[in-house]
């Protein structure tokens, strides 16, 4: 490889070791109290400073892709719930979108509205919990997380009354949704949406100007925009680095071009910006929700011609992607004309967002590694699949 190409590949920075004392190798995880799950980081330390960090994956590798190639198209839908188990509805949507693209299935207008409403509610509860976990990792033992979960429970109650399950909704179908969102459900959603701004205000009162949070997050774990783009980072983490790329705005999938909302961008690309971008995204999601709940039309919630059983797409392939709360979630399907896909691939945002974990952690103290890691917002079910 020539030197210029080496340069093109943004290598993680190397830093100088001060030469006194020995280097210490620590395996953080897979059972580690601070991490989000069974994730391991092999860290080399010089004193407290991180010299090298290698993530180790696979402790929750559940063979989703293999299962996707053995079960049918519909049967895969409940499995997608378990990918990013905070946001089962956006996972459903991404998968349904990919299959709809593969067979050219249209979706009725009402179903699109229902999808937007549920996806944005999912985004809000995901971001609230993420901030809760992030502060937990900074040492705020429980309070913000408890407030976040209090609001999350309200949203989960709506999900349960609509889809039957709190977390694993299995709600979307190719060409629409499984059941209709009745007026009672819509009113429940409206009630949640009117209550949420006060919660976000309280949350911000609690955290945004908190000196400890600022000290732990400002200037920490900085990610430069050019590296972020090159490393395929997506979602709030990319936008915190100042790159304006939101698939809702770029692809206009579903009916997102009908709503007016802004894409919050960060300036410094540090942990604090990532926190702020998430808070602002919650507010933008509320805007979308208000519009969607006002405009939702009457009509069928699933294309009456849509096939549920005996689904056999023609040979071909499709890549469908959406802006999931964690970033770009894509499903790549190759059909050979059979009842199950020939190749089923999930493009997981949290897995690829971890590419730059080492770059962000090098030179930081070991106590900050978990905070940087928490700010990436990952879910292990999706990282390892």
Partner 1 sequence: MKTVEEIKTAIETAVSGAQLEIVPNGSPSAEHSLLVDAAHAFAAAKFLRDDAELKLDFLSNVTGVDWLDKETTEKVKVTRPVEKEVNGVKTMVDETVEETKKTVTPGYLEAVYHLYSMAKKHGPVILRMRTGNRSDKVELPSLTPIWRAAEFQEREVFDLFGIIFTGHPDLRRILMWDGFKDYPMRRDYVDPDDYEYEPTAHDDVLKRAQAHLAATTTEAAQ
Partner 2 sequence: MLGEGLLKGLGETARNFAGSFVSKERLTTVQYPEEREPLPEASRAFPFLVYDGADWEAGLRCVACQICEKECPPKCIYIEKSKDKKPDYVGKPQIYPAKFDIDISVCMSCQICVEVCPFEAIKMDNQFELATDDRFGGLLYDRKELARSNEYYHKIHPTEAAEVDARLAEEKAKAEEKAKAVAAAAAAKAAPAMAAKPAEGAQPQ
Partner 3 sequence: MGLGERSFDVAVDPELKIELGKQGIFVTTIQELYNWGRKSSVWPMQFGLACCAIEMIATTMARYDLARFGAEVFRPSPRQADLMIVSGTVTKKMAPQVVRLYNQMAEPRYVIAMGACAISGGPFKQGYNVLKGIDRYIPVDVHIPGCPPRPEALLQAFMTLQKKIDEQSLTGENRPRYLNVDAPGEFPVPEQGEHDLVPASNPNVWTVPVVIR
Contacts to partner 1 by CB under 8 A: 1, 5-6, 8-11, 57-58, 61, 63, 65-66, 101-104, 227, 229-233, 243, 245, 250, 313-319, 321, 328, 330, 332, 334-335, 342-343, 345, 347, 351-352, 354-356, 384
Binding to partner 2 by residue 275, rule CB under 8 A? no
Minimum distance between the CB of residue 323 and partner 1, rounded to whole angstroms?
Answer: 12
- Find which of partner 3, partner 1, partner 2, none residue 26 binds, CB within 5 to 8 Å per kind: none
Of 14 and 66, nearer to partner 3 (C-beta) is 66
Minimum distance between the CB of residue 137 and partner 1, rounded to whole angstroms?
Answer: 23
- Find which of partner 3, partner 2, partner 1, none residue 210 binds, CB within 5 to 8 Å per kind: partner 2
- Find which of partner 3, partner 1, partner 2, none residue 179 binds, CB within 5 to 8 Å per kind: partner 2
Of 261 and 351, nearer to partner 3 (C-beta) is 351
- Find which of partner 1, partner 2, partner 3, none residue 207 binds, CB within 5 to 8 Å per kind: partner 2
Interface residue with partner 2, options 17, 24, 56, 212 (CB under 8 A): 212
Binding to partner 2 by residue 178, rule CB under 8 A? yes
Question: What is the number of other CB atoms lying within 10 angstroms of the CB of residue 4?
Answer: 7
- Find which of partner 3, partner 2, partner 1, none residue 214 binds, CB within 5 to 8 Å per kind: partner 2
Minimum distance between the CB of residue 385 and partner 1, rounded to whole angstroms?
Answer: 8
Stretch that binds partner 2, among 51-59, 92-100, 109-117, 202-210 (CB under 8 A): 202-210
Of 117 and 237, nearer to partner 2 (C-beta) is 117
Site string for partner 2, 110-149 (x = CB under 8 A): ---------------------------------x---x--
Of 23 and 308, nearer to partner 2 (C-beta) is 308
Measured over all CA atoms, what is the biggest interatomic distance in the chain, rounded to whole angstroms? 72
Question: Which 3-state string (H, E, C) describes the chain?
Answer: CCHHHHHHCCCCCCCCCCCCCCCEEEEECCCCCCCCCCCEEEEEEECCEEEEEEEECCCCCCCHHHHHHHCCHHHHHHHHHCCCCCCHHHHHHHHHHHHHHHHCCCCCHHHHHHHHHHHHHHHHHHHHHHHHHHHHHHCCCCHHHHHHHHHHHHHHHHHHHHHCCCCCCCCEECCEECCCCCHHHHHHHHHHHHHHHHHHHHHHHHHCCCHHHHHHHCCCCCCCHHHHHHCCCCCHHHHHCCCCCCHHHHCCCCCHHHCCCCCCCCCCCCHHHHHHHHHHHHHHHHHHHHHHHHHCCCCCCECCCCCCCCCCCCCEEEEEEEEECCEEEEEEEEECCCCCCCEEEEECHHHHHHHHHHHHHCCCEHHHHHHHHHHHCCCHHHHHC
Binding to partner 2 by residue 363, rule CB under 8 A? no
Structure token digits, residue 285: 């999601």
Positions that interact with partner 3 (CB under 8 A) = 30-31, 33, 37-38, 58-63, 66-67, 70, 78-79, 82, 85-86, 145-146, 149-150, 152-153, 166-168, 380-381, 384
Question: Cβ(379)–Cβ(37) under 8 Å?
Answer: yes
CA-CA distance, 149 to 155, in Å (whole number)?
10
Binding footprint of partner 2, residue count (CB under 8 A): 36
- Find which of partner 3, partner 1, partner 2, none residue 321 binds, CB within 5 to 8 Å per kind: partner 1
Strand-by-strand arrangement of the 49-56 sheet = 24-28, 40-46, 49-56
Q: What is the CA radius of gyration of the chain?
A: 21
Judged by the rule CB under 8 A, the positions of this chain that interact with partner 2 are 71-72, 74-79, 143, 147, 150, 153, 157, 160-165, 168, 170, 178-179, 202, 205-214, 308-309
């Amino acid at each position: 490889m020539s030197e210029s190409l080496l340069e093109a590949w943004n290598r993680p920075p190397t830093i100088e070791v001060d030469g006194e004392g020995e280097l210490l190798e620590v395996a953080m995880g897979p059972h580690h109290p601070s991490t989000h799950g069974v994730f391991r980081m092999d860290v080399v330390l010089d004193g407290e400073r991180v010299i090298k960090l290698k993530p180790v994956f696979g402790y929750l590798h559940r063979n989703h892709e293999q299962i996707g190639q053995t079960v049918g198209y519909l049967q895969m839908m409940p499995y997608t719930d378990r990918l990013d188990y905070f946001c089962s509805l956006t996972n459903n949507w991404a998968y349904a979108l990919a299959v709809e693209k593969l067979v050219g299935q249209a979706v009725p207008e009402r179903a699109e509205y229902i999808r937007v409403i549920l996806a944005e509610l999912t985004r809000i509860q995901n971001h609230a919990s993420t901030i809760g976990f992030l502060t937990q990792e900074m040492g705020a033992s429980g309070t913000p997380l408890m407030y976040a979960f209090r609001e999350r429970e309200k949203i989960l109650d709506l999900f349960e009354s609509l889809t039957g399950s709190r977390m694993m909704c299995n709600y979307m179908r190719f060409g629409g949704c499984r059941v209709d969102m009745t007026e009672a459900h819509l009113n429940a959603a409206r009630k949640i949406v009117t209550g949420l701004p006060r919660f976000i205000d309280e949350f911000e009162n609690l955290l945004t100007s908190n000196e400890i949070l600022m000290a732990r997050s400002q200037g920490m774990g900085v990610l430069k925009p050019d590296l972020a783009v090159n490393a395929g980072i997506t979602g709030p983490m990319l936008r915190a680095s100042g790159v304006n790329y939101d698939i809702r705005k770029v692809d206009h999938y579903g009916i997102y071009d009908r709503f007016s909302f802004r894409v919050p961008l960060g300036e410094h690309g540090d942990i604090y910006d990532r926190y702020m971008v998430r808070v602002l995204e919650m507010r933008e999601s509320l805007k979308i929700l208000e519009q969607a709940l006002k405009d939702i039309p009457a009509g069928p919630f699933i294309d009456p011609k849509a096939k549920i059983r005996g689904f056999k797409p023609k040979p071909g392939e499709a890549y469908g992607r959406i802006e999931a709360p964690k970033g770009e979630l894509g499903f790549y399907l190759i059909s050979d004309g059979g009842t199950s896909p020939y190749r089923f691939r999930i493009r997981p945002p949290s897995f690829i967002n971890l590419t730059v974990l080492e770059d962000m952690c090098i030179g930081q103290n070991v106590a900050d590694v978990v905070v940087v890691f928490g700010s990436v917002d990952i879910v292990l079910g999706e990282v390892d699949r």
